[in-house]
Structures are given as C-alpha cells and as structure tokens.
Amino acid sequence: MIKDNSATGATASGRSAWLTIMGINEDGIDGLNPVARSALAAARVVFGGKRHLSLAAPLIQGDSEVWQSPIESSVERIRQLAGQSVVVLASGDPFLYGIGSALARAIPAAEMQVFPAPSAFSLACARLGWAQQNTRLVSVCGRPLAQLDSALLHGSRVMVLCAGAESPRQIAEYLCQRGYQHSRMTVLEALGGADERVRHYARLGAFDDNNIHPLNMVALELSKVGSGPSEAAASLAPGRPRDDFLNDGQISREEIRATVQARLAPQQGDCLWDIGAGSGAVAIEWLLLDSSLRAVAVERHPERCRRIEANAHRFGVADRLTVVEGAAPGIIHSITAAPNAVFIGGGASAEIVERMTEMLEPAGRLVTNSVTLESDALLTESYRRLGGTLSRFSIECCAPLGALTGWEPARSIMQWCWQKPDSHAEPTL
C-alpha cells in the first residue's frame, strides 16, 4: 500500500517544507506578507540576485548567497541544505519565467512553500489596463529577439519582459525591419518602485530614447502597414504560404500541410519526428500550434539542414526544434526524445515505416505522404496490414492558360494515417 503524505506536507524523505521561495518586487519587504517576512527573518541561508538581497537586507539574519553561474551550481547547493531553513528570492512570480521551475525539478513540491508577488507582466498589464488573457506574453531575457516572431500578428497586444536597458531599442529596430514601424510602444520601468516611469511612443520608427532603466518591460500594440518583409507567423493556422519558408522546392503544398497537422493531432507536450524534413515546414508549423510541443527534424542534406535551422529561427521556435543531419533509419538511433507523432514526408521505405511503428509511443500517430507509384504500393500494403486510414488528395489551382485562365492540377497525394494501440488503455468488456 502506498501512503499519501500530501495532507501533512511530508514527502518520501520524511521532510516537511524547508525551502521558501518568495517573490520580491521594487517595493522590497513592504510588499511581503507577515508569513513571508517571518520566513525570511528565520532563514539560515538566503539566495538571490544582488538586487533582491539588497531589497530584503533589513530582514535577513542568516547568511546571504548570490546566484552562481551556471545557476545549476546554486540549485545543487540548495539541495545540499535540505532540511534546513532556506529562502530563495526572485522577481515577482517565481514560476513565470523564473527560478521556480528549475527548483521544482530538483526538490519535491511538498518540501517548498511559495509566496509569489505580482509578476512583471501583471504589474505592466495593470498599469495599461490590459487583460493578461488577451495579451501575448514574451520574454527576451536570456533569449534571442526571435522569440518575438511567433507573437507578430497585426492588431495584437504583446508584453515583453526585457533583458536590460538596451532591450527597448533593440526590439524597436527588430520590429521596424519586419514592417511594424507604425506600431505603438510603451516602456515601463522599475514598476512598483521609487524610480517607476511609464513612457508612450506613438511609432516604433520614432523611438530614439537611450535613457532607459535596466529593469523594464515593453508593451506593443502591433500595426503592420505598407510593404514590409513577409510576416512569417501572420496566421495562427497551419498551411502557411510556401514562400514564408526558405526552401529549394522540397516543401509540401499549403493545403497538404494543413491536413497533415490535423492528422498528427498534437497534444500537450508531444514530440514530433519529421523524417525527410526538407524545409522543416511541417515540424515548424507543429511547434507554432502550442508552446509545449517539441520536434526533431531529420534531413540527410546538409544545406537543407541549415535552411531548417534558419526557418526555425525565423519563426521563433529554434529552442524547441532539434535538427538531426543524416539518413533514416540509420541516424535515428542518435535521437533520445521518444516520438508521440511521426511524419514521413519524403523517401518512405518499408524499413523506415517498420522502425517508426516500433518506436512510436503508445497512442502515437504516424502520417506518411506519397506521390510515387512505389510509395503508393507501400502505403497500401501498410494500410492492409495495420489498418488506419488511407486517403488521396487532388488539388487544382487557377493558372493562366494562354490569354485565358484554366485549372492546373498538382500531383495527387496519397496519405496513410495510423495510430499505435494504447497499451495503457483499459480493455473493453
């Protein structure tokens, strides 16, 4: 029998909560509730950045330790103090782009008590009267500006957690290059503190202020007018125009890519393997559907691998895409992430299909496209053996026909979709 200790706060180690994680903002200890203040005063060791430790200094009685680099060193140090009273200070909400997630991977939740403060996003949205649920939240703190790409939609409101005093200028220049120079920008500095300042700029193209507090947020009201560079992530739906992706012609038609995503049926946290990825369009559109998704693009041509990486950066999903250079199935032994979904877009063979059906996680989905008679025969045989669904798509588009206009057919696509049985499912009676 397994005993549930959650009601008492005890864990398998027998320890109750010993680690306190608390958010502290520019108002310092005045913003802490009485329980958090008591925990801070009683702590044997307090961890935080120099600014956090300075803000909390009037209440700290124990030792203070500034974060080490890499941060994992401090996390390990905290683990070694298990059972003693330890406080970790963080900005705002520790579990929103904060240290909380790293600590939760190393320490059971029942051994922690958390006192979040209003996050920088909450404070900034409150100042402007923006509803957070209708605002795109992005962090470029320790991340490339390409993180903004997936949020670039005309008419959207975007709140950006910045990396320092230079961030507003860098963001303005980055967006102007993408045709958003007529967007409105607000810079919110040192929110909640004595140095708080909020400044509005009617046009990104006119921003030229260098006197910015290093602790700042940028609020954007996006407006794209005139002729600018292609808006890479303009649509929320898959099936984006082929010209939005760098490619050498090895890219599925928009209509086919939309059906592929529907059949891949992504679920929270899933990992896709895109075999014979070409431009990487299928993997990238998969990643754009939800921030929890991951993907591996397998491509044997080095130049195409570089294009996939460039496309991933262009759409702001490079941090969740792994590009593996090599030919399947031989190269797949080097991939550590198990697939919840697999797309075979080019070069399908009986061996590849066999290996993918074996490696798929239970309830995983496999989608394979074919444009040749040989591959058609393979998919037909796979359908006969394993079941699933077999479809054929024929697409015709209007095109000039001399001085007139006529229908121009594209190559027909055969598509086989199969779902692996779920070994965890309860048997039906």
Per-residue pLDDT tens over the stretch 211-257:
899 999 999 999 876 543 344 445 678 999 988 899 998 898 999 99
Residue 118 backbone class (left: φ over 0; alpha: ψ -120 to 50; beta: rest): beta
pLDDT tens digits along 188-200: 999 999 999 999 9
Cα 356 to Cα 427: distance, rounded to the nearest angstrom? 25
Query: What's residue 133's pLDDT?
Result: 93
Kindly give the residue spans of alpha helices, DSSP state H, lying in 189-273.
254-264
Residue 30 has pLDDT above 90, yes or no: yes
Structural domains of the chain in order of their starting residue, each with its CATH number: 19-117 (3.40.1010.10), 121-221 (3.30.950.10), 242-419 (3.40.50.150)
- Report the candidate in 175, 220, 215 with the shortest Cα–Cα distance to residue 192: 215
Return the pLDDT at 145: 87
Q: Write down the H helix ranges in 131-178.
A: 167-176
Cα–Cα distance measured from residue 346 to residue 283, given in angstroms and rounded to the nearest whole number: 14
Overall average pLDDT of the 408-425 stretch: 88
Percentage of the chain with pLDDT > 90?
A: 73
Over 60: is that where the pLDDT of 11 sits? no
| pLDDT band at residue 400 using 50, 70 and 90 as cut-offs | very high
- Using 50, 70 and 90 to split pLDDT, how confident is the model at 425? low
Query: How much is the mean pLDDT over the chain?
Result: 89
Model's pTM, two decimal places?
A: 0.70
pLDDT tens, position by position, 310-326: 999 888 788 899 999 99
Pairing of strands 136-139, 157-161: parallel
Alpha-carbon dihedral 348, 318, 365, 281, rounded to 10 degrees? -50
